[in-house]
């Protein structure tokens, strides 16, 4: 059969300022750069869903028709033009190719300027173009805000089950297996349940409870006769009515599917208190890290979660740098700080130079002013970095001309191109710093760093330093959520005016 392949990924934070332009998708940023046609086959060995889908489905001998794969780093809404160009390309190809099936590698939490449910809008346009008989199967991120429209229009949607997302290619493989079953059998019954509270990103980590046990329970329930069972914990920074966690499943026995979805949803609701997060203020986090690192053979890792570029942050706030310096932390490192001018000055001055510069800073935030100091230029780099860790293994990223700067006992990785979140140890090594030899590592990330850093970490702390990525959804100025949704575990109810 003929199977169309396409991907369109964006995680939208409607509370930050910078929108996603078409050029952001061309460059890829934290994703591979935009691929068209046969270029997409180069993604088969990258840990993203389309790679896993291709490797699994190509064994069946179907004709694969790759169209376009586009992803951009998290930000505010996808601009009107970018959305129309990429969606138009996918829909036009579907109309022209007359395929038997379509696979979509989606995020599930996209908001466009003209469509608050970006993936639902794409699916609706596809259905209008190809009709009801073409099978459409999609994969979505664990942070997807899955909507009723998405579930109604797709034959099947499957979600990731790990955060850090080490199973992206595996999710693509599961989507391919569902595609195989769908092409050889009848449509499944679908059941879903939206959960009644938003969940902070930091408590979604599947390496620890409660998420660890919840996804194990999901797999146990799924084995009791379902074609698929998924849980997306949501992206709690998209201000629209269907933001939030959802459970959904597929199977031929409608009662069994309904019961499975209800069982998992009810168990999560019953454990609501366990999803709360304990955040530390910056100086308290540094003090605790210094205490835990005394005599330890491994570094203590602090998540600078509110400046996570993987959730819409600018990767340039200085709250944690100030805390490290004020507490006289030694053998500490912070990464990655995005500051093109600081990187330029470092390269202009050369290794060994002392440069008096302002560093970082994000306008409009408390403590967001630039940090002024005299830094030593320790090393310089072209910023070309290949990921060896579990997240996006094998992908190459470009930080632009980069530098390792040092002030007191604190080393700072500085980039001149917007960096990915600190999810791979090579983002330190690219400027010559060995993360294993540090006492304290401050990572601009929420959870993804844990896949590569937990094996070397004495302990992991979460700091709530000033930043645009508000870690506790209860702190956000919501306007458009559905009434009755709690804005955090055991949090207050949102009521629309």
Instruction: Give the residue-averaged pLDDT of 176-205.
Output: 97
State what percent of residues in the chain have pLDDT above 70.
Answer: 99
pLDDT at 395: 87
**DSSP string for 15-49:** TSS--B-HHHHHH-TTSPPPEEGGGGGGGTTSSSH
List, for residues 417-460, the tens digit of each pLDDT value.
Answer: 999 999 999 999 999 999 999 999 999 999 999 999 999 999 99
pLDDT band at 393; cut points 50, 70, 90: confident
Torsion of Cα atoms, 308 then 309 then 313 then 315, to 10°: 90
Structure tokens of 235? 């992206």
pLDDT band at 392; cut points 50, 70, 90: confident
Query: Which residues on neighbouring strands pair with residue 411, listed in sequence order?
Result: 333, 406
Q: Is 356 exposed, middle or buried (0-12, 13-18, 19+ CB in 10 A)?
A: exposed
Instruction: Give the residue-averaged pLDDT of 4-17.
Output: 96
Residues 6+ apart with CB under 8 A from 194: 242, 244, 245, 246
Query: Which residues on neighbouring strands pair with residue 338, listed in sequence order?
Result: 415
β-bridge pairing 300-304 and 440-443: parallel
pLDDT at 250: 98
Instruction: Output helix, strand, coil percentages for the chain, rounded to the nearest 5.
Output: 35, 25, 40
Structure tokens of 61? 């001998």
Q: Count the alpha carbons within 13 Å of 437 in the hemisphere toward its beta carbon.
A: 6
Tell me the average pLDDT of the chain: 96
Instruction: Give the residue-averaged pLDDT of 248-254.
Output: 98
| Residue 421 · residue 201 · CB < 8 Å | no
Q: Cα separation of 12 and 29, whole Å?
A: 14
Q: Which of the 8 DSSP states describes residue 208?
A: S
Instruction: Please say if the pLDDT value at position 309 is more than 60.
Output: yes
Residues 6+ apart with CB under 8 A from 310: 11, 30, 73, 74, 420, 421, 423, 445, 446, 448
pLDDT at 458: 98
| Residue 288 · residue 294 · CB < 8 Å | no
Q: Which of 341, 323, 285, 299 is nearest to 408 (CA)?
A: 323
Instruction: Give the residue-averaged pLDDT of 230-256.
Output: 98
Q: Which of the 8 DSSP states describes residue 490?
A: T
Q: Is 217 exposed, middle or buried (0-12, 13-18, 19+ CB in 10 A)?
A: middle
**DSSP string for 96-137:** HH--SEEEEEE-S---BTTBSSHHHHHHHHHHHHH-SSSEEE
Q: Cα separation of 168 and 354, whole Å?
A: 43
Query: Which residues on neighbouring strands pair with residue 35, listed in sequence order?
Result: 69
Q: Which of 208, 256, 207 is nearest to 228 (CA)?
A: 256
Q: Which of 288, 312, 297 is nearest to 442 (CA)?
A: 288
pLDDT at 116: 98
| Residue 119 · residue 110 · CB < 8 Å | yes
Q: Which of 349, 338, 348, 353 is nearest to 383 (CA)?
A: 338
pLDDT band at 496; cut points 50, 70, 90: confident
pLDDT at 394: 85
First to last CA, the chain: 51
pLDDT at 364: 65
pLDDT at 58: 96
How long is the chain? 497
List, for residues 66-106, the tens digit of each pLDDT value.
Answer: 999 999 999 999 999 999 999 999 999 999 999 999 999 99
List, for residues 339-388, the tens digit of each pLDDT value.
Answer: 999 999 999 999 999 999 999 986 666 556 799 999 999 999 999 999 99
Structure tokens of 90? 């996918």
Q: Which of 69, 457, 13 is nearest to 235 (CA)?
A: 13
- Angle at the Cα of 401 from the Cα atoms of 399 and 404, rounded to 5 degrees: 90
CATH of 2-275, one of 3.10.20.30, 3.40.250.10, 3.40.50.2300, 3.40.50.300: 3.40.50.2300
| Residue 476 · residue 487 · CB < 8 Å | yes
pLDDT at 366: 58
Domain boundaries of the chain, sorted by first residue: 2-275, 282-471
């Amino acid at each position: 059969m003929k199977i169309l392949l396409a991907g369109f990924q964006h995680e939208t934070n409607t509370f930050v300022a910078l929108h996603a332009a078409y050029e952001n998708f061309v460059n890829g940023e934290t994703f591979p750069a935009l691929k068209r046609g046969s270029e997409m086959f180069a993604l088969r060995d990258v840990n993203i869903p389309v790679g896993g889908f291709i490797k699994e489905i190509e064994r069946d001998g179907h004709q694969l028709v790759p169209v376009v794969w586009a992803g951009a780093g998290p930000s505010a809404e996808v601009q009107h033009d970018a959305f129309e160009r990429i969606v138009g390309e996918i829909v036009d190809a579907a109309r022209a190719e007359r395929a038997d099936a379509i696979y979509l590698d989606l995020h599930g939490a996209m908001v466009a300027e003209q469509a608050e449910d970006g993936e639902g809008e794409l699916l609706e346009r596809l259905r209008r173009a190809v009709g009801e008989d073409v099978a459409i199967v999609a994969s979505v991120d664990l942070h997807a805000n899955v909507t009723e429209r998405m579930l109604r229009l797709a034959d099947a949607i499957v979600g990731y089950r790990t955060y850090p997302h080490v199973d992206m290619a595996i999710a693509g493989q599961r989507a391919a297996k569902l595609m195989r079953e769908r092409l050889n059998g009848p449509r499944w019954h679908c059941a879903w349940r939206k959960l009644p509270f938003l969940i902070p990103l930091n408590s979604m980590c599947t390496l620890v409870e409660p998420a660890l046990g919840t996804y194990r329970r999901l797999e146990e329930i799924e084995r009791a006769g379902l074609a698929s069972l998924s849980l997306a914990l949501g992206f709690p920074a998209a201000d629209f009515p269907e933001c939030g966690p959802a459970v959904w499943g597929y199977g031929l026995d409608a009662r069994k599917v309904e019961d499975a979805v209800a069982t998992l949803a009810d168990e999560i609701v019953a454990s609501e208190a366990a999803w709360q997060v304990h955040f530390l203020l910056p100086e308290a986090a540094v003090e605790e890290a210094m205490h835990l690192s005394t005599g330890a053979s491994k570094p203590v890792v602090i998540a600078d979660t509110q400046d996570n570029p993987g959730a819409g942050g600018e990767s340039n706030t200085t709250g944690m740098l100030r805390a490290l310096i004020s507490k006289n932390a030694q053998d500490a490192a912070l990464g990655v700080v995005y500051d093109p001018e600081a990187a330029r000055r470092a390269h202009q001055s050369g290794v060994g130079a002392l440069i008096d510069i302002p560093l970082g800073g994000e306008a409009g935030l408390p403590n967001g002013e630039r940090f002024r100091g005299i830094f030593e230029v320790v090393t310089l780099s072209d910023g070309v970095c290949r990921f060896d860790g579990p997240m996006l293994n094998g992908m190459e990223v470009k930080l632009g001309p980069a530098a390792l700067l040092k002030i007191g006992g604190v080393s700072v990785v500085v980039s001149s191109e917007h960096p990915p979140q600190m999810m791979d140890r090579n983002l330190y090594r690219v400027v010559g710093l060995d993360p294993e030899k540090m006492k304290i590592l401050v990572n601009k990330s929420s959870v993804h760093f844990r896949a590569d850093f937990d094996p070397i970490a004495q302990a992991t702390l979460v700091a709530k330093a000033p930043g645009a990525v508000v870690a506790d959804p209860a702190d956000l100025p919501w306007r458009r959520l559905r009434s009755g949704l709690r804005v955090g575990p055991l949090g207050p109810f949102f009521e629309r005016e």
